[in-house]
Amino acid sequence: MELASLQAYMNDQRIDGWLLYDFRGSNPVFARMMPPLGHTTRRAFLWIPARGAARLLCSRIDRPAFAAAPMDQDHYTSWREMQTWLAGRVSSGARIAMEYSPGNALPAVAYVDAGTIELIRGLGGEVVSSANLVQVGAARWSASAAQAHAAASKAVAEIKDAAFGLIAERLAAGARVTEYDVQRFILQRFDEAGLQYPDPPIVAANAHSGDPHFEVSAANPAEIRKGDWVLIDLWARVPGNENIYSDITWVGFAGRNVPAAHARVFSVVKQARDAALELARSAGGGDRRICGWELDEAAMRVIRDAGFSEGIRHRTGHSLSPGALVHGIGMNLDNLETHDTRELLPGVGFTIEPGVYLPEFGVRLEINVHYDPTTGPTVTSCVQNEVLLLA
């Protein structure tokens, strides 16, 4: 936990303190701010003031689980003791940040139940969203995480090339190849490279690529034939919860000449991706902070203007941050599913992955970006600019 950065941000935003609340693992942000914990059974609070030292409150029963916590602790047995401790920190009119989203506009940061919010308000606090504090405290990449991500990106790009190469080789030899064959090949290569992955990759041919979350069937896999369109979405990282996933999507055509309809959609999606990237890069200069919803709009505008509004199925991108999940806890590029007002802050990472999905086929082009505090928003993955020809 970088206390100085958090407190500088709180003072800039006129926030008096950040109160993180957890009950039986209910708040992953609380978990990210702590070392690995044992089993907990009671309510716990982490108080990070805008000035001064952080402090933890937990039940006396849960003391062993918090033994490794790197801050001073207080302990309670009764609910009265707990509320007295909270009242000593929540002064009347104080602006208290919590994992709360007004109107649940951002479910990704809404982990505190309404009753606990009522409790803090009843003690005199003005509860505000911790959405951007979460980014400062839990979503930024460390130098070692950035290095591990670079290593993962190199390996994932090579495995992507090998997977499309497998399709081309099998087709050239007149041999059978299925979506499942390619998926198992990728997983084998992940294992050989020592990479960590929570789910199998997407390998989707033709109409299957029109389903953003298509799942390959092991029992009845579709065969990939000459003239087919293939989308591959794969993600993996160097093992370790502090490390960042490399998450990319590419498309290919099993022939020599890409059909006009496919080429048209590819071009539009590429332009949408590049529009969002261009706006993100502008965050490196000037004082105005760009929000996640604006990056989404930059890409969506291209798709809508090209006449493919009906082919939009999802937001433009998701956070890439430390932690167990591929979809991180920082800013998403989203003005579709949510109105993401979180800011593009130095140190955070994200995907840009606009897509257009039609009944016959779909196109998604996914890249990874890290807002390097020194050089600005930087692409960290391979980038597709032409349809791969698999023949």
Q: Of 120, 139, 145, give the one whose Cα is nearest residue 17.
A: 120
pLDDT score of 284 more than 90: no
What percent of the chain has pLDDT above 70?
Answer: 99
Say what the pLDDT of residue 283 is: 84
Q: Of 50, 70, 57, 53, give the one whose Cα is nearest residue 23.
A: 57
The pLDDT tens digits of the residues spanning 173-182 come to 999 999 999 9
- Distance between CA atoms of residues 134 and 109, nearest Å: 8
Confidence of residue 361 (pLDDT cuts 50, 70, 90): very high
Say what the pLDDT of residue 286 is: 61
Q: How far is CA 36 from CA 69, 201, 242, 266, 354, in A?
A: 9, 28, 12, 44, 35
Residue 236, helix vs strand vs coil: strand
- Distance between CA atoms of residues 287 and 291, nearest Å: 13
The pLDDT tens digits of the residues spanning 133-158 come to 999 999 999 999 999 999 999 999 99
What percent of the chain has pLDDT above 90?
Answer: 94
CA angle 162, 166, 171 (to 5 degrees): 150
pLDDT score of 288 more than 80: no
Please tell me the pTM assigned to this model. 0.94
Least confident of 33-47, 68-82, 136-150, 218-232: 33-47
Average pLDDT of the segment spanning 66-75: 95
Confidence of residue 2 (pLDDT cuts 50, 70, 90): confident
The pLDDT tens digits of the residues spanning 89-148 come to 998 889 999 999 999 999 999 999 999 999 999 999 999 999 999 999 999 999 999 999
Which architecture, in CATH terms, is 3-139?
3-Layer(aba) Sandwich (3.40)
**Spelled out in words, what is the top-level CATH class assigned to the domain 143-389?**
alpha beta
CA dihedral sign, ordered 208, 211, 214, 219: negative
The pLDDT tens digits of the residues spanning 335-357 come to 999 999 999 999 999 999 999 99
Say what the pLDDT of residue 285 is: 64
| Per-domain residue ranges of the chain | 3-139, 143-389
